[in-house]
A and B are shown apart, each in its own frame.
Chain A
């Protein structure tokens, strides 16, 4: 269980204090696919950075299976929005980077990398270099790399935000397959309502200034997707449209950003 308890984050910037997260509580249980949804600037990345251990909390605490989080570690795999593959390593070596840090022998690394590349549909690309791949392919490599060290949870910050809508749907399908097959917990950030609905077993809707959870949903679209339903069937299903509009209303209802005193 990943437990976030009363997490608050204040940034100081240009003489102002920004209240990025306000006493946020969230549990992510085994097998959960939690999607954080919200407009830009509502603290989604701040929350993910705190879970990843990149950012300390101002107040509150985060524990993963009972251990307090004190910094980045291989128990939490991160997939970034920005391309963070190492340009001097080929795809297989990029995927196996964490295994190299763990001291695995080269042969074992390459074998494991091959299996993971298979999982993300890049079987024949182990010897390519990142700059030879498209954005979607690079993002798949990023997912394979994060899975390689067998983390307890996968953290993904708008990983498909830069992709075209067709590639994006392929990647959503792929991610759901990966989730279904590996049973990993996933914390996923997006600002697309449809993406949130399609992917999440749990959806938290956030609002900015200060960053808070204003609504929580459970959804089962992702299970249907994992069991073979198509994205189209899901989008056309009865409950999808009303839920999408309800969430849209919540996001639009957000109070005007109010300035905070320094």
Chain B
């Protein structure tokens, strides 16, 4: 055996890091998670608005079907100033936000513990699975008439409807979060002396949090759809009602104002959940 090169040490100079420090890199997670998409989205949005402006400005589409961006903006100012369909704009928006906010809070408060329990306990699973699996696939609007008959035309029926629509995805997500808990992790906690309650609070809940947050995002999507549809049918306040009233007068520009408000609200909610994810589960996909 011959020694080829005993001193294989790097003999060059260590590259100086310069004034700005060395170029740091990081391990990308799977998928696009972590890469910024804001600019791409902004460009897409402005292209869409540009196309909208173009087809209306040059009369390619009648303004009865598609109002001009400027008209919608103007209508927004008018509605914000004078109200619409018998109520100030803030009341319409407030009514919708109240309904979805209350229903979401209730769905989260009930869905997370019940879902976790269903993932852990045979009896909870056996008892709750049947009603949930029965009602969850139904379109919420199909049982809205029942809600109205049982609970009246007021807020209770709408909030209940929304609660039911949003409860199931959160509950199912919490269940699947429990199932994805590696058995070794639970065993590790038990050998560290965790009681059942501690295991639940310190291991099961944080472990299920990523999936729960995904469930909440889905629930909010379902919630907005259900809310507006319910307001179209049975309401005297709310953004859905505003859209319905405007449609009866073929006020397409006001319809657009309503749609824009919904999309801003829904976007803010989704963004809030995304912020919560960044705050609560920064380790997502890395453990």
Contacts and interface: CB of A to CB of B under 8 A. Distances in A.
Contacts of B195: 101
Given A88-B281, A100-B202, A82 B184 contact: yes
A145 interface: yes
A105 interface: no
Interface string A190-226: 0000000000000000000000000000000000000
B206 interface: yes
A80 B188 contact: yes
B188 A78 contact: yes
A86 B193 contact: no
Given A101-B194, A101-B202, A84 B281 contact: no
A129 B192 CA distance: 19
Contacts of B185: 84, 86
Contacts of B209: 88
B: contact size bracket: 20 to 34
Given A86-B203, A88-B206, A97 B192 contact: yes
B63 interface: no
Contacts of B207: 86
A130 interface: yes
Contacts of B203: 86
Given A97-B189, A101-B193, A82 B287 contact: no
B25 to A, nearest CB: 14
A41 interface: no
B209 to A, nearest CB: 8
A88 B50 CA distance: 44
Nearest to A54: B187
Q: Chain A binding site: helix, strand, loop or mixed by DSSP?
A: loop
B287 A88 contact: yes
Interface stretch (A14-22, A26-34, A67-75, A114-122): A67-75
30 contacts: A53-B190, A53-B191, A71-B190, A72-B190, A72-B191, A74-B193, A78-B187, A78-B188, A80-B187, A80-B188, A84-B184, A84-B185, A84-B187, A86-B185, A86-B202, A86-B207, A87-B286, A88-B209, A88-B287, A98-B193, A100-B202, A101-B189, A101-B192, A101-B194, A101-B202, A131-B283, A131-B286, A145-B188, A145-B192, A148-B192
Interface of A: 52-54, 71-74, 76-78, 80, 82, 84-88, 97-98, 100-102, 129-131, 145-146, 148-149, 151
For the complex of A and B, the 4 pairs showing the least CB-CB separation, nearest first, are A87-B287, A74-B193, A98-B192, A72-B190
